[in-house]
Amino acid sequence: MYLLFAIILEKRPHIHTPILPYVIMTMDPLKTIEWTPDRKGQPLPGMIRMVDQTRLPGELIFLETRDLRQVWAAIKTLQVRGAPAIGIAAALGVVVAVQDSRAATGAALAAEVDKAADYLATSRPTAVNLFWALDRMRLCARTGARRAPADLKARLIKEAIAILNEDIAMCRAIGRHGAVLLKDGQTVLTHCNAGGLCASQFGTALAPIYMAREQGKHICVYADETRPLLQGARLTAWELMRAGIDVTLICDNMAAQVMKEGRIDAVMVGADRIAANGDSANKIGTYGVAVLARAHKIPFYVLAPSSTFDLALATGEAIPIEERGADEITCGFGRRTAPEQVKVYAPAFDVTPARLITAIICERGILKPPFGKAIEKAVGCGLQAEF
């Protein structure tokens, strides 16, 4: 079952400048992804409800599904995107795959969980949160394989909801730590979308901006449009305006100029996978922004939950980089902008070397270089501190 609920957004001015700020009334945090039970008080059966991010900013569309294949497609086609949100979608996707199972034993149901997880793991290769969440669901199934199938299903939905709720808490903690780095009146440059749309609610790289606002600070944002799918223009600008944050949209190739003009005090970006040494994979173009920030002596911060750390990878050279279809560049949003048959190279991510990163902020604190020991300690200790 696959339902669409649409809210057609009121038309808004497309130009926003710091000279004549256009402020939209602050709204409650948008629930990017959630579980909706069929009956109140009974978690199963139910369905996943998530924002279709491919339809923003023109329409706010909610997808509701209880079909594993459609969860896979939503992840693959970026209807749900952002490392934390992908992990949550995958965990809930396992639940929709088995909630109607007629498996006679817990072991048989656990085998179905493994099969669903294997399938979802093929959707996108770079965001480690996808595999982290699926591993948690596999472990939950295996440790409960001796239980009755109904009991195991209850454990699985409980685990998936825990992943969602933990993400909310982690993002708020990232916001608290990151807000310490921002002073009243400063301006942040961000790339792609790492706000509430990339997670369950508050986001990662934008969380400090939301938290700073709660603390009474006025923080402005410059948002890179983020070619080729314009996540900065379509998503970041939309959600910041929705929240009443002063945001100015720029083309990707304007970042150097706004830095040169002294308009940027800090750069804050998210991450889809962080290697043991601190090398960080994020949306294509992030590496270039980091190089520019170093050239202009601007601090460059990476913000992500600890689930984004991949200690199995020594450096970023081992991070798998997803390549997208050529049509996203040559015929983006349905209009051809390049000759037919032209050769295209379309990596979706790049890796920023640790040497260009001022600090990594996760829910457990502010990590400073050299990152190796700091990351290992942060992942293992569970404390909130500065490393």
Q: What is the pLDDT, as a whole number, of residue 86?
A: 96
**Helix (H/G/I), strand (E/B), else coil: 134:** helix
DSSP string, 227-274: TTTTHIIIIIHHHHHHTT-EEEEE-GGGHHHHHHTT--SEEEE--SEE
Q: What is the pLDDT, as a whole number, of residue 67?
A: 97
Give which of 204, 213, 235, 189 is closest to 308, Cα–Cα.
204
Per-residue tokens: 69: 């294949």
Same domain for 373 and 271: yes
Q: In which band, very low, low, confident or very high, does the pLDDT at 29 lie, cut at 50, 70 and 90?
A: low
Same domain for 329 and 187: yes
Residue 291 clears pLDDT 60, i.e. is over it: yes
Q: What is the pLDDT, as a whole number, of residue 41?
A: 92
Determine the average pLDDT of the residues in 76-84.
95
Same domain for 89 and 55: yes
Same domain for 184 and 295: yes
The model's pLDDT over 175-197, given as tens digits with 9 standing for 90+, comes to 999 999 999 999 999 999 999 99
Share of the chain above pLDDT 70, in %: 91
**Helix (H/G/I), strand (E/B), else coil: 223:** strand
**Amino acid making up residue 188:** V
Q: What is the pLDDT, as a whole number, of residue 379?
A: 87
Domain CATH for 293: 3.40.50.10470
Residue 12 clears pLDDT 80, i.e. is over it: no
Q: Which of 112, 139, 170 is the last residue of a domain?
A: 170
Same domain for 144 and 243: no
Give which of 82, 80, 102 is closest to 93, Cα–Cα.
80
Confirm if 325 and 346 have CB atoms less than 8 A apart. yes
Residue 27 clears pLDDT 80, i.e. is over it: no
Q: Which of 170, 202, 224 is the last residue of a domain?
A: 170
Same domain for 192 and 143: no
Same domain for 373 and 281: yes
Q: Which of 170, 194, 217 is the last residue of a domain?
A: 170
Rounded Cα distance, 308 and 280, in Å: 9
Per-residue tokens: 217: 């600070």
Give which of 60, 49, 136, 140 is closest to 89, Cα–Cα.
49
Q: What is the pLDDT, as a whole number, of residue 21?
A: 31
Q: What is the pLDDT, as a whole number, of residue 380?
A: 78
Rounded Cα distance, 351 and 124, in Å: 16
Name the E strands within the chain: 2-8, 33-39, 42-51, 59-65, 187-190, 220-224, 246-250, 266-269, 273-275, 280-283, 300-303, 309-310, 349-352, 359-362, 365-367, 385-386
Angle between helices 207-214 and 149-179 (to 10 degrees): 60
Residue 360, classified by CB atoms within 10 Å of its CB into exposed (0-12), middle (13-18) or buried (19+), is: buried
Q: What is the pLDDT, as a whole number, of residue 16?
A: 30
Range(s) of the domain holding residue 119: 2-170
Rounded Cα distance, 366 and 42, in Å: 39
Q: How many domains does the chain have?
A: 2
The model's pLDDT over 303-358, given as tens digits with 9 standing for 90+, comes to 999 999 999 999 999 999 999 999 999 999 999 999 999 999 999 999 999 999 99
Q: What is the pLDDT, as a whole number, of residue 386?
A: 46
Same domain for 189 and 50: no
What single DSSP character describes residue 62? E
Give which of 324, 328, 312 is closest to 350, Cα–Cα.
324
Query: HSE of 172 in the Cβ direction (CA atoms, 13 Å)?
Result: 8
Domain CATH for 115: 1.20.120.420
Residue 95 clears pLDDT 80, i.e. is over it: yes
Picking from 7-21, 266-280, 316-330, which range would have the lowest pLDDT averaged per residue? 7-21
Q: What angle do CA 347, 349, 351 make, to 5 degrees?
A: 120
Q: Which residue has the tokens 């970041």?
A: 236
Cβ count near 211 (within 10 Å): 23
Share of the chain above pLDDT 90, in %: 87
Same domain for 240 and 376: yes
Determine the average pLDDT of the residues in 356-365.
97
Same domain for 277 and 143: no
| Active-site residue set | 272
Same domain for 238 and 373: yes
β partners of residue 48 = 35, 65
* Statement: the pTM of the whole predicted model exceeds 0.85: yes
Same domain for 146 and 181: no
Q: What angle do CA 192, 196, 201 make, to 5 degrees?
A: 155
